[in-house]
Amino acid sequence: MTAVSRNEVFRRFRRDRLAMFGLVVLVLFALMAILAPLLVDDDGLSAVASLDNPTWARPSGDFLLGTDHLGRSVAAQFVYGSRVSLFVGLMATIFTIAIGSIVGVVAGFAGRWVDAALMRLTDWFLVIPFLPLAIVLAAVLGRGIWNIIFVISITSWPSTARLVRAQVLTVKERLYVDRARALGASQLHVVRRHVLPNVAPLILASATLAVPISILTETTLAFLGLGDPTQASWGKTLEEAFQAGAISRSAWWYYLPAGLGIVAVVLAFTLFGRALEEILDPRLRER
């Protein structure tokens, strides 16, 4: 990977319209999640507080996105749901990338039996079937947001570890690593000054691509009823809409916002991540 200066990255990124579109969408959703209490009344989430509201109300001035079968505001669920989706997506990605990077760097750099042992462990996690594990863990640990994060992280770090290890192996053989050793550099110095900076762009790109996968996974688990029952999330909204028969009632305002929200966020992260990956990895730019 050749060096790309920081200014060059920004310049290329600004030229990429799809990536800029993705970034704008992400910023909007992030603002919505952060400013949720200012945008909607969280009474709209509670069935008790919504007892006086009409059920299955169409979108109107009172309820921007209508109400559900319990009279709760769909808009409130949508806005607060973005918090859970984004939070789970980001946290799961942080853990995935952290575990994957540490395992990948240690395995690639240490080599020999350390590498062999860590890679066998990685293989073992790689072949664990995801959904059954998620269901079992949800049953054992109870349903909760941190359990979802745990399940996503524990099943998705192996691919990151393999990616990072491969990059470390190529960087480790570079002549400048030899030169650093000949200068008297310690292992730690070589990792910090030479290996990590050359692996970091790859980690960053793979992180931005791991976020949408994590968000989709959270939605899947919530839709299967494995999410936190006390917190609104887009997946949970979809599940409840499905259970309440919103589709046969043509209550599109109930399920469409959550569905489109997921699509928009996943698409935005993917566009952003792809552009970043292409800019930072010259091998992809050629195509």
Contact residues: another protein, CB under 8 A: 2-3, 174-176, 178-186, 189, 193-194, 197-198
In which region does residue 184 sit, left (phi positive, over 0), alpha (psi from -120 to 50) or beta (all else)? left
Other C-beta atoms closer than 10 Å to the C-beta of 11 total 12
* 245, two tokens: 């028969």
Residue 48 vs 175, nearer CB to another protein = 175
Q: What angle do CA 136, 83, 251 make, to 5 degrees?
A: 85
Q: Least CB distance from residue 11 to another protein, whole Å?
A: 17
Q: Least CB distance from residue 219 to another protein, whole Å?
A: 39
Q: Least CB distance from residue 195 to another protein, whole Å?
A: 10
Residue 168 vs 251, nearer CB to another protein = 168
Residue 6 vs 287, nearer CB to another protein = 6
Residue 1 vs 18, nearer CB to another protein = 1
Q: Least CB distance from residue 48 to another protein, whole Å?
A: 58
Per-residue 3-state assignment (H helix, E strand, C coil) for 114-170: HHHHHHHHHHHHHCCCHHHHHHHHHHHHCCCHHHHHHHHHHHHHHHHHHHHHHHHHH
Q: What share of residues in the chain are helix, strand, coil (percent, to 5)?
A: 75, 0, 25
Q: Least CB distance from residue 81 to another protein, whole Å?
A: 41
Burial of 103 (0-12, 13-18, 19+ CB in 10 A): buried
Residue 69 vs 193, nearer CB to another protein = 193
